[in-house]
Amino acid sequence: MNAVKRNQLKKILDRRSFAGLMDIYEQNFHLLNRLLPDIDKIPDNLVSSVKGSPDLHLTIQERCKYTTTILLTYYFPQAEGERIADPGLTIKIYHDARQAEALACMKSGFMPVEHSHRNKKPYVDCRWESNIFVEKWLRFSLQQGHVFSTKQIDDRKTNKHSDCPECVDI
């Protein structure tokens, strides 16, 4: 077995390690940078609308010097005018460490990361599953064409999202 294949196999086998988890956090950070290239300049509530895809809602919950906490979700209509957030991802972005981790993932079948009781999985396994889901969903959102940027806000500032009056529709 050559060195390249050996390294690839080692990465696969070490995926559930703490170091592997840190790699996923780094991937999530880079994907979020593509989705939110102007995170320091955008408003706290935005909606990205892409034809053929559900609207992607962003709420910036907290902005600090070295971190930002966001909520990313779709909203689906329910009975009596209610809406349900799914997957309802709360993600903390560590700007200085260049990492992003799922704090909660409320997708059907998931519980908040910090309260997962399913099979009493170890901390790393629980974090691993949630952050792999985040990584895949971020890739999917980018492939759909979703992005939150100041250029799009400037181009479409006059269009408000009909379901969310506090949001700027981009």
So what's the pLDDT on residue 120?
53
So what's the pLDDT on residue 77?
86
So what's the pLDDT on residue 137?
93
Distance between CA atoms of residues 86 and 139, nearest Å: 17
Query: How many distinct structural domains can be found in the chain?
Result: 1
**Which region, left, alpha or beta, applies to residue 167 given φ > 0 means left and ψ of -120 to 50 means alpha?**
beta
Beta strands 67-77 and 99-105 are unpaired
* pLDDT, tens only, 25-38: 999 999 999 999 98
15-29, 37-51, 123-137, range with greatest mean pLDDT: 37-51
Domain holding 28, by residue range, is 3-169
| DSSP secondary structure letters along the chain | --HHHHHHHHHHHTTTSHHHHHHHHHHHHHHHHHH-TTTTTS-SEEEE--TTSPPEEEEEEEE-SSEEEEEEEEEEE-GGG-EEEEEEEEEEEETTTTEEEEEEE-STT---GGG--GGG--HHHHHHHHHHHHHHHHHHHHHHT----HHHHHHTTT-B-TT-TTSEE-
Distance between CA atoms of residues 96 and 139, nearest Å: 22
Residue 101 has pLDDT above 70, yes or no: yes
Terminal-to-terminal C-alpha distance of the chain? 50
Lowest mean pLDDT among 4-13, 129-138, 155-164: 155-164
What pTM was estimated for this model as a whole?
A: 0.75
